[in-house]
């Protein structure tokens, strides 16, 4: 259910539909790509009004983690922080210069293929693939605002 919620929010953002702000109270606050977001991440996607979007932690989670530990690690940053869906991670790949600090390596998404595998985003070539959840990969948490 949580994965569905994040995917739905991402789709709403992609189509420019307004959602209620969750992390900041100033309705007039606007952001642009590369700004520091309301939860301290770097903004890498923004709606046409500049008030709602996605922010990413400025650095990777230390080390490489199996998928289950990656989900947990991303959530430890606080309310709303999560392992990105494959769509959110693709956007992050496309805007990686706005955030910086990425390795030419594979990153976990929260999007599951089945009980044994989940989708990944390659940051070297931009490829997406399914990996066994016991593989150890890099992690970058994101937040919807």
pLDDT at res. 27: 57
pLDDT at res. 40: 97
- How far is residue 89 CA from its own chain's centroid? 5
Per-residue model confidence as pLDDT tens digits over 67-100: 999 999 999 999 999 999 999 999 999 999 999 9
Whole-structure pTM value: 0.81
Residue ranges of the domains in the chain?
A: 2-18+32-144
Classify domain 2-18+32-144 by CATH number.
3.10.100.10
Name residues whose C-beta falls within 8 Å of residue 85's C-beta, 6 or more positions apart in sequence. Answer: 3, 6, 7, 10, 109, 110, 111
The pLDDT mean for the chain works out to 87
Name residues whose C-beta falls within 8 Å of residue 27's C-beta, 6 or more positions apart in sequence. Answer: 21, 51
Name residues whose C-beta falls within 8 Å of residue 97's C-beta, 6 or more positions apart in sequence. Answer: none
Strands (E), the chain: 42-46, 53-56, 81-82, 106-112, 117-122, 128-132, 142-144
């Amino acid at each position: 259910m949580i994965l569905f919620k994040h995917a739905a929010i991402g789709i709403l953002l992609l189509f420019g539909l307004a959602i209620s702000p969750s992390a900041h109270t100033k309705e007039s606050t606007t952001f642009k790509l590369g700004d520091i977001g309301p939860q301290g991440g770097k903004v890498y996607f923004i709606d046409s009004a500049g008030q709602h979007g996605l922010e990413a932690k400025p650095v990777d989670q230390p080390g490489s983690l199996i998928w289950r530990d990656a989900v947990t690690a991303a959530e430890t940053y606080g309310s709303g922080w999560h392992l990105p869906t494959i769509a959110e991670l693709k956007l992050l790949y496309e805007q990686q210069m706005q955030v910086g600090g990425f390795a030419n390596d594979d990153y976990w998404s929260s999007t599951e293929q089945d009980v044994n595998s989940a989708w990944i985003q390659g940051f070297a070539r931009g490829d997406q693939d399914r990996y066994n959840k016991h593989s150890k990969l890099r992690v970058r948490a994101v937040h919807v605002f």
